[in-house]
Structure 1
């Protein structure tokens, strides 16, 4: 049968027969030597009240700590003597009052298994110092055995003639894991010590077992929200596992494993995804030296040999530190922003100086040469990984390569929460703002673009409080509210660089998508089937379809409609009209870039409009660009990276020419888009409702086979009438087209 009494939590009340609650005046320790005992001293008569020898001291500020209590003959009754460090932790001064009660540490559930101290000099010291963790732990055990320690408590200790201040940073009790929280516990002979040094002191611990060789990280955990980083949890896990896990362990453990720590980390991905932010925050998290940040072109110099010297100077501190301190050397972090500017593939630049080649050679020597450094971590950032010299990417150099891609929906929620957290804290964010909905509507937004979205929304909210008629009018700060409408307006302003080009697609179908009959409907359904196949099938990450047919039959409008209706986050149209005046190599580079951008999105559609124009094909000659042709043939067969899916839709009015070039066979499917027949024309004209019922049949009789583009042009010309009136009068139903004028316009265009 379970007991009806619950066991009291250790460290919070006396379990003896008598209860002691005193209000005592704080005094100074009666003797300087007593300051290093970590005891509290009291008068002889009052000391007898604490039968277990422990007292729980609580200050008005809310701080509490457990001290061993001893009597001292020099103390008056009603005085509790504490040293300076003890008073500092309790936030009290001499003559202040504190509450003191008897305390009994339980034998079970209160034993300290691990006690972690942060060690600092009590007085400022100018030089670094090595301390043997085992010897120091034995000294502390001799001094403080059977004392109770509380997280955050300050302790003064003298060791080998030097005074140190210890701060309790973590306590792990018997039967408890390190992830669980513990407030205090009692130090026993079985307790294991872990020591961390304040980074600025230069104290280094050797022979420390059971923990990190050094206090590598300033924080005990990675809180990405506090760091201002969202949507990169998996990337940070990879970075920690591959770049930092080996550095957390002591150097002698790593040597026994026969490996060297990672020296290079390359962050690559599209602009605005947070590469520079990650590198900056990694530098802040680590307890090494202050990171050296190098913007790629800064190391270049006009003087011969000066550029190479600038590279060597970046490593000078690390070399000196490793020579003097060996394995106890600090970690030196060097951050290269836009590293592709200085580390291009050797032999690729033709400036005649060979400076870029020398930079790569110098870096390789310092990172992985004969006298390689083990106390460095290089972090490079680029959005053009393909430009880097391949020797830099091999193991031992920038071996950890992490792609920082566009955030997914969950990541976008985190980023929006980070950028709106200040607004929420200060009650400027309206309750109707739904960040989850915004994240769903911001497909393919980078972190920088999401920040721009928040800024744009704030600008709308601020603008409501400003009167342009009277700028001297006082601003009402209390009524500033950023609403959901502000974010929706901001979505109209801020567009993602890797998003769907909706405006360009809408320009391809100015008249919308009309019902052109069963044949066109079947083609649209076939295209939507391909869209669903790309969405749901892991076996076919790449699908291609060619729409071929006479000019004006609606191929481009149909492809644009599929791009819009698919709701894919990335839809781009590649058209010759955007490449007027481009050389063949420039065209190839532009087409390749569109495909590379598509590979960065989980779902993408690329529309290759009028492929024969992209190939610069002309009948006279005939002539075409073989360079562009070969580029398209390669890209149409290249599978996207794992987890990415791509649909390519091509349009052409010269299918026979593409067939001779071998392009037709590259597409998975080819669909013929025909001109309109009489029944199709009937549907279109009935939908437009621009003829009277009697003239409709007459008009259809005159039109046997026509492209949709030419039909709409004839109707538009006829709608303007004999006196060139505005066509809206007809399209709104106020007036009908005169059949005679329609015949005249038809004869002019056909």
Structure 2
């Protein structure tokens, strides 16, 4: 039942429903009654206007007809369906009194054929249809959900009211009912698979702010950002497409600022520049944040005011007819830091923020300005800038997904493909799959690197003046694969660091180690496919040298997650506590930008600066880690954290163990485990392996490797190369001597 806006008289009349007298009257959307009953529904102060609420649901305009008997009301089939009544039934009919300001500012209608015949299709001009509907249904009341029949160019159509917004009401507040007037702006939609195509929809608007009717993002050089661009269009430009009188009657103000934020190289600046190019209006003003700053007192504030001077002049002279002025601020975080955060004593940064706020949202704020800010550090911006009325549209430009990467690769390879420089073996979908976590700029770098390999094949360092034959230049798949290894993503896996953690590779250490690896890989699978496990944490504990870090690094590599980072104390030597915390936080923040991530916290006791004497540790770092280990990633992002420690008792005492989802003990090697490792190393004679393994019971694997390398040197040295190449075997007696030395040490 539709909600009633307006008032009804206290007197209701019970009337009998009958059919509309003729087909042409059925297309008028009027209800008909006897001329003697018509005065009961007259609207005072409005000549020849009769309105009735039928069954307290929809409101229809009434007209008298001689063929209708007194006490009867004629409704067409669609009207009867709307109010859910049949012919010959009795219904309650009430005089409807429209309230003040009842004219519709905006009416959204969904078009369809009354009867669909096969694959029938029609093209409708929005300008002509809107003009006819306003004339035909003038002063009729339209209600959201109402269905109306009409004729247009010899065809019978129907429309359903999807939205009816009154003049002077905010767009967000949906008014369900209003009266059509000359100023009602009509937007047409089409039912799915209706076969109706609406043309000239934009020409129906007087505010034509775009240079082109349709947008092909690839032709603009924008790839993988269609969802973000659609969001920007809806929030920042949809209201500007409508005529000025429509937006003023809706009681809304245009969006005057938007913020594009995200990792470097994802296309923020490119998107802002292209938005400026496709708009009808003044040439966009593009400035970098630091360019505004000046060493002279008051000059910085003046530079900000000068940016808005042209817009102010247009606003004064042209008013609502003023063209749109676009100001693009790159690196806006450089000048709009949170007020009070800088300690330079000049207060310049605070003055810049105040000046911008005054121009955008002050007492004499401008309505013909669109300020586009870009930053990699949204957290540094003053909060006042991000409130509604300022930079209210905030769109994250994140790393592209696989489909987005494919679009970007198409954009950067289109020209070479058109000019036959791209080899047939180049598989762009495969390259898109291989380039996980690559930003748009990094993908462009990959293409440039691949081209450099192709060009280099045509050059001879011995004779650089030799002419190059263009037809021989071909960029091949191998060139792209080499380029991928050369251009490493900033948010990618730290492959080199992970490989350094397992210099000896991974050998078979027995069933116990294999079980831990399998359980850890199950956690990887859980993070990848589970809908409820966006954060999983795992702690590997064991004696020093037992292989915890190598195991964690192997899990990270084998996970094939696009972002894998290891956090270790060796990369933070000499840093202050707060700096260490900032570095750790940055690793987690970067991980939140990737859909799947692994973070390895190596030697947590070293990260927290633990010393057994006392004991002493950094409470600041430990609290930071505890918070990060419990902090869920943003929606759509998943994270696996693997920690390693040799001081389980210490971590348990400060509450770390309860923070991890699971804890696995990585044991030292027993005799059977050591025997398997020695078999794989193949440095002992077969008859010596058992006795060597007996001596190595309960030894960490790192110490086993050390012993093997010491024994491989021989008593006189120089035997290692022959032993590791398989030409000789380690002397068991010398091995025992080395073992005794290690024990004594």
Residue 610 of structure 1 pairs with residue 603 of structure 2? yes
- Where 2:219 maps in the other structure, the secondary structure is helix
1:576 match: 569
1:140 match: none
Matches within 5 A, 1:349-428: 349-428=342-421
- Where 2:260 maps in the other structure, the secondary structure is strand
- Deviation at residue 111 of structure 1 after TM alignment: 9.9
2:280 match: 287
| Structure-2 change in CA distance of 1:682 and 1:319 (3 Å) | same
Match of 1:212 among 199, 205, 216: 205
1:147 match: none
Match of 2:313 among 320, 325, 332: 320
2:631 match: 638
Match of 2:593 among 564, 583, 600: 600
Partner deviation per Cα, 1:594-619 (whole Å, 9 max, x = no partner) = 00000000000000001111111112
2:254 match: 261
CA distance in 2, matches of 1:490, 1:382: 28
- Where 1:646 maps in the other structure, the secondary structure is strand
- Deviation at residue 113 of structure 1 after TM alignment: 3.9
Q: Which moved more, 1:414-423 or 1:465-474?
A: 465-474
Match of 2:325 among 328, 332, 338: 332
| Structure-2 change in CA distance of 1:287 and 1:743 (3 Å) | same
- Deviation at residue 729 of structure 1 after TM alignment: 2.5
- Where 2:372 maps in the other structure, the secondary structure is strand
The CA RMSD over aligned residues, in Å, is: 2.0
2:432 match: 439
- Deviation at residue 215 of structure 1 after TM alignment: 2.0
1:205 match: none
1:717 match: 710
Partner deviation per Cα, 1:393-413 (whole Å, 9 max, x = no partner) = 111111110000000000000
CA distance in 2, matches of 1:551, 1:110: 78
- Deviation at residue 177 of structure 1 after TM alignment: 5.1
Partner deviation per Cα, 1:628-663 (whole Å, 9 max, x = no partner) = 111111111110000000000000111111111111
CA distance in 1, matches of 2:636, 2:733: 59
Match of 2:295 among 302, 305, 317: 302
1:37 match: none
Report the count of equivalent residues.
Answer: 561
| TM-score, normalization by structure 2 | 0.73
CA distance in 1, matches of 2:705, 2:348: 61
1:702 match: 695
- Where 1:523 maps in the other structure, the secondary structure is helix
- Where 1:226 maps in the other structure, the secondary structure is coil
Match of 1:729 among 699, 722, 730: 722
Match of 1:692 among 676, 685, 690: 685
Matches within 5 A, 1:488-503: 488-503=481-496
Residue 566 of structure 1 pairs with residue 559 of structure 2? yes
CA distance in 2, matches of 1:342, 1:478: 50
- Deviation at residue 109 of structure 1 after TM alignment: 11
Unaligned regions of 5+ residues in structure 1, if any? Answer: 1-107, 117-133, 135-174, 181-191, 196-210
- Where 1:227 maps in the other structure, the secondary structure is coil
Partner deviation per Cα, 1:436-458 (whole Å, 9 max, x = no partner) = 00011100000000000000000
Partner deviation per Cα, 1:101-125 (whole Å, 9 max, x = no partner) = xxxxxxx999984689xxxxxxxxx
- Deviation at residue 221 of structure 1 after TM alignment: 0.9
Matches within 5 A, 1:104-143: 113=125
- Deviation at residue 556 of structure 1 after TM alignment: 0.2
Partner deviation per Cα, 1:200-253 (whole Å, 9 max, x = no partner) = xxxxxxxxxxx2222211111110110011011111111111111111111111
Matches within 5 A, 1:244-255: 244-255=237-248
- Where 2:641 maps in the other structure, the secondary structure is strand
CA distance in 2, matches of 1:411, 1:723: 62
Partner deviation per Cα, 1:497-518 (whole Å, 9 max, x = no partner) = 0001111101100111111111
CA distance in 2, matches of 1:179, 1:472: 60
- Where 1:647 maps in the other structure, the secondary structure is strand
| TM-score, normalization by structure 1 | 0.73
- Where 2:630 maps in the other structure, the secondary structure is coil
Match of 1:672 among 665, 677, 692: 665
Unaligned regions of 5+ residues in structure 2, if any? Answer: 1-119, 129-133, 135-193
CA distance in 2, matches of 1:526, 1:705: 23
Matches within 5 A, 1:520-531: 520-531=513-524
Q: Does the Cα contact within 8 Å between 2:126 and 2:198 map onto a contact in 1?
A: no
- Where 1:225 maps in the other structure, the secondary structure is coil
1:536 match: 529
CA distance in 2, matches of 1:324, 1:509: 72
CA distance in 2, matches of 1:637, 1:689: 45
Matches within 5 A, 1:67-82: none
- Where 1:657 maps in the other structure, the secondary structure is helix
- Where 2:282 maps in the other structure, the secondary structure is coil
